[in-house]
């Protein structure tokens, strides 16, 4: 057997001869650079078509880890190549400077980074929820029930600090979808609404306890975060739930204060209904 006499040259094929009868071509692959990964991500967004798209879908299309995709997307947002919606989804930005998306952009308000349509809320409601966020420095979510095939909780409004750590963690953990919409049984906000919807005589003990207490503490779908939730009632019926979400250490130190603020805001929201 002759010696394999040719060494690999990056970017060029190696040709290995076996007794002059057979040839095998092996392509030498160099490791992907940061630039390679950025172009893969932009190509993935283009291939997915008009957005916005979830982080997990973009990462899968590009063949990258979600954490790597998230880091590159943040850089792309800073330079204006990619836009990010309020629900943490991504779109390419067209040359005209507008997001290349088939959906109309949600209305933007200075006090809100919303998940749902703020057109469904009165100015008074928006201001009260924004005041709660400012007073606590934590994220405030307004959930409403969707009683369809599977009873769900849907985030109608989302008020966060300027540096939104909750949504950042949710994207990295691929839990942003659950944060905004999930079955009522998943977490404290859903169970608070469930307690106000089911017959007290048929409720399980945990739901009955929430109904009696009028609030519920519990873990967020985003690891490392805790929630406290109170029901929102209108016309003596359950209308939704107001949820304060904070890092676990903060909630442990300020649980009483957070609950008092939530109960106060919930009472104010229930007192009077103003026109939208």
Residue 186 buriedness (CB in 10 A; 0-12 / 13-18 / 19+):
middle
Give the whole-angstrom CA distance, residue 142 versus residue 120.
Answer: 12
What is the distance, to the nearest Å, from the Cα of residue 232 to the centroid of all Cα atoms in its chain?
23
CATH 3.30.450.40 domain position(s) in the chain: 118-271
40 contacts 62 by C-beta, under 8 angstroms: yes
CATH of 34-92, one of 1.10.10.10, 3.10.310.10, 1.10.645.10, 1.10.1660.10: 1.10.10.10
**pLDDT in the model for residue 99:** 47
One digit per residue, the tens of pLDDT, for the chain of length 276 reads 444 434 444 444 444 444 444 444 333 444 567 777 888 888 888 888 777 888 888 888 888 888 888 888 888 787 778 888 766 788 888 654 444 444 444 433 333 444 444 556 788 889 999 999 999 999 999 999 998 788 899 999 999 998 999 998 988 888 888 899 999 989 999 999 998 887 756 667 888 889 889 999 999 999 999 999 999 988 778 899 999 999 999 999 999 999 999 999 999 888 654 443
DSSP for residue 53: B
CATH 1.10.10.10 domain position(s) in the chain: 34-92
**pLDDT in the model for residue 98:** 46
Give the whole-angstrom CA distance, residue 97 versus residue 116.
Answer: 24
Domain 118-271 listed as CATH 3.30.450.40: yes
Give the whole-angstrom CA distance, residue 237 versus residue 195.
Answer: 12
**pLDDT in the model for residue 203:** 62
The rounded radius of gyration (Å) of the Cα atoms in the chain is: 25
């Amino acid at each position: 057997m002759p010696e394999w006499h040719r060494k690999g040259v990056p970017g060029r094929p190696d040709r290995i001869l076996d007794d002059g009868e057979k040839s095998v071509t092996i392509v030498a692959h160099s490791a992907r650079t940061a630039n390679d990964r950025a172009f893969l991500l932009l190509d993935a967004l283009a291939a997915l078509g008009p957005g916005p798209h979830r982080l997990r879908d973009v990462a899968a299309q590009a063949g990258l880890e979600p954490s790597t995709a998230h880091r590159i997307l943040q850089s792309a947002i800073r330079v204006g190549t990619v836009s990010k919606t309020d629900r943490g989804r991504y779109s390419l930005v067209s040359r005209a400077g507008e997001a290349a998306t088939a959906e109309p952009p949600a209305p933007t308000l200075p006090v809100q980074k919303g998940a749902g349509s703020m057109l469904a809320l009165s100015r008074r409601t928006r201001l009260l929820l924004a005041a709660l966020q400012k007073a606590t420095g934590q994220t405030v979510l307004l959930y409403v029930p969707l009683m369809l095939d599977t009873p769900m909780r849907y985030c109608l409004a989302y008020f966060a600090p300027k540096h939104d750590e909750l949504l950042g963690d949710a994207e990295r953990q691929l839990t942003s979808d659950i944060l905004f919409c999930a079955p009522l049984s998943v977490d404290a906000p859903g169970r608070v609404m469930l307690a106000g919807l089911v017959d007290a005589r048929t409720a399980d003990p945990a739901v009955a306890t929430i109904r009696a207490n009028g609030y519920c503490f519990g873990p967020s779908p985003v690891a490392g975060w805790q929630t406290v939730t109170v029901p929102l009632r209108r016309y003596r019926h359950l209308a939704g739930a107001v949820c304060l979400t904070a890092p676990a250490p903060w909630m442990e130190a300020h649980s009483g204060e957070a609950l008092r603020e939530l109960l106060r805001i919930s009472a104010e929201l229930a007192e009077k209904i103003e026109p939208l």
